[in-house]
């Protein structure tokens, strides 16, 4: 008759499986079976630890970008509601994200043109001059919002700031040039640009948009309740459709945008920015994007950008340098 070993205090508090590991093997078990049982129980006793992924502050690869995009899209309660809620903006230099009419150099110049203590006078006169000088190019010179969008498109300083619904396009604009400077990728939920007066994305026919632009053409009073208006424009140019173009309209006296550095979006989904390191990181990202078909020619379906892409893909000198050399040759 088999004798049962009495239960002791030491055996009672031993971890599960420890007694089995320390007890002699049963007579009918082979050494191989005993070793197998021991390895199995040792594996069961191990504590499995999976480290939590670190929050991303820098984007060094497309994998990093995909992680950021998923963090934003998956925490968005309105996802799948028929519109692109998450917007992206890429800058090749590590500057603040501000529209042209609010950048320091333009603000300094505007102070020289103040008339009757009107800080918006320079904006108003250049917008009026654009409308007058470009009248032959406008289908309707009374459509001020459309004229204002054209002014932005052709490089006039405005209160419009470019965004895109395409994160690959935003990353391209971040790494396309200025390899010696850090770049910045900005991400925001389109109805959360302002904590104090959030607005939903709208179109060119919105009354607040019309009133703001009218004031900027010297045609009305300054709108009340200043804020940042997310704007879905009519996609009049092929490049706008390719790039997923959208804008924020920064009303006069609106508070500037504030961004949190890196990390995952929180409950309110404050706008955030992510660093793209200078140097080889930018070049590596450009190569990754080119392999994915994101190029100058893809985003700008125009001949001058086709040639720009050919130069970039064959590591030829920039177009501006070629123009300089041509000018020197002509002068000589």
State pLDDT tens for residues 94-110: 999 999 999 999 999 99
116, 142, 106, 119: which is closest to 219 by C-alpha? 142
Query: Looking at the structure, do residues 287 and 301 belong to the same domain, yes or no?
Result: no
Residue 222: partners with Cβ closer than 8 Å, 6 or more residues away? 120, 215, 252, 253
Query: Looking at the structure, do residues 290 and 302 belong to the same domain, yes or no?
Result: no
Helical segments of 75-120, H only: 104-111
Average pLDDT over residues 318-326: 51
pLDDT of residue 330: 39
**What band does 10 get if pLDDT is binned at 50, 70 and 90?**
very low
Query: Looking at the structure, do residues 155 and 232 belong to the same domain, yes or no?
Result: yes
Q: Which residue has the higher pLDDT, 332 or 154?
A: 154
Question: Is position 199 within any domain?
Answer: yes
**What band does 146 get if pLDDT is binned at 50, 70 and 90?**
very high
Question: Is position 2 within any domain?
Answer: no
Query: Looking at the structure, do residues 33 and 119 belong to the same domain, yes or no?
Result: no
Q: How many distinct structural domains can be found in the chain?
A: 3
- Beta-carbon neighbour count of residue 129 at 10 Å? 11
Query: Looking at the structure, do residues 147 and 225 belong to the same domain, yes or no?
Result: yes
The distance from CA 93 to its chain's CA centroid, rounded to whole angstroms, is: 14
Question: Is position 139 within any domain?
Answer: yes
Question: Is position 55 within any domain?
Answer: no
Query: Looking at the structure, do residues 37 and 90 belong to the same domain, yes or no?
Result: no
Q: Residue 64 above 90 pLDDT?
A: yes
Question: Is position 39 within any domain?
Answer: yes
Question: Is position 332 within any domain?
Answer: no
261, 267, 271, 266: which is closest to 59 by C-alpha? 261
Residue 249: partners with Cβ closer than 8 Å, 6 or more residues away? 159, 160, 209, 212, 213, 228, 229, 231
Query: Looking at the structure, do residues 253 and 104 belong to the same domain, yes or no?
Result: yes
Query: 115 vs 111, 112, 239, 297, CA distance in Å?
Result: 9, 9, 38, 44
The parent domain of residue 31 ranges over: 9-45
Query: Looking at the structure, do residues 192 and 114 belong to the same domain, yes or no?
Result: yes
Query: Looking at the structure, do residues 171 and 199 belong to the same domain, yes or no?
Result: yes
Query: 197 vs 47, 159, 262, 300, CA distance in Å?
Result: 49, 18, 24, 35
Three-class SS of residue 70? helix
Query: Looking at the structure, do residues 31 and 136 belong to the same domain, yes or no?
Result: no
């Amino acid at each position: 008759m088999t004798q049962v070993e009495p239960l002791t205090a030491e055996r009672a508090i031993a971890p599960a499986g420890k007694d089995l590991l320390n007890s002699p093997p049963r007579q009918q078990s082979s050494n191989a079976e005993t070793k197998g049982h021991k390895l199995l129980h040792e594996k069961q006793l191990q504590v499995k630890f999976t480290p939590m992924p670190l929050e991303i502050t820098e984007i060094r690869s497309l994998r990093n970008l995909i992680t950021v995009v998923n963090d934003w899209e998956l925490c968005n309660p309105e996802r799948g509601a028929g519109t692109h809620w998450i917007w992206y903006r890429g800058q090749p230099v590590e500057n603040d994200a501000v529209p042209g009419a609010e950048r320091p150099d333009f603000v300094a110049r505007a102070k020289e043109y103040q008339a009757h203590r009107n800080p918006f006078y320079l904006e108003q006169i250049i917008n009026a001059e654009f409308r007058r000088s470009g009248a032959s190019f406008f289908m309707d010179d009374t459509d001020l919002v459309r004229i204002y969008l054209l002014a932005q498109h052709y490089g006039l300083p405005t209160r419009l700031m470019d965004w895109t619904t395409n994160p690959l396009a935003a990353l391209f604009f971040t790494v396309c040039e200025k390899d010696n400077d850090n770049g910045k990728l900005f991400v925001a939920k389109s109805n959360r640009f302002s904590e104090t007066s959030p607005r939903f994305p709208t179109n060119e026919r919105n009354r607040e948009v019309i009133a703001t632009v009218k004031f900027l053409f010297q045609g009305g009073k300054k709108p009340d309740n200043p804020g940042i208006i997310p704007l879905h424009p009519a996609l009049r140019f092929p490049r706008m459709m390719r790039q997923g173009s959208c804008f924020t309209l920064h009303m006069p006296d609106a508070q500037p945008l504030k961004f949190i550095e890196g990390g995952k979006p929180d409950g309110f989904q404050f706008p955030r920015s992510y660093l793209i390191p200078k140097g080889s990181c930018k070049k590596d990202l450009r190569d990754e994007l080119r392999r994915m078909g994101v190029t100058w020619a893809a985003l700008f379906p125009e001949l001058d950008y086709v040639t720009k892409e050919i130069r970039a893909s064959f590591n030829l000198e920039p177009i501006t340098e070629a123009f300089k050399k041509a000018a020197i040759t002509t002068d000589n």
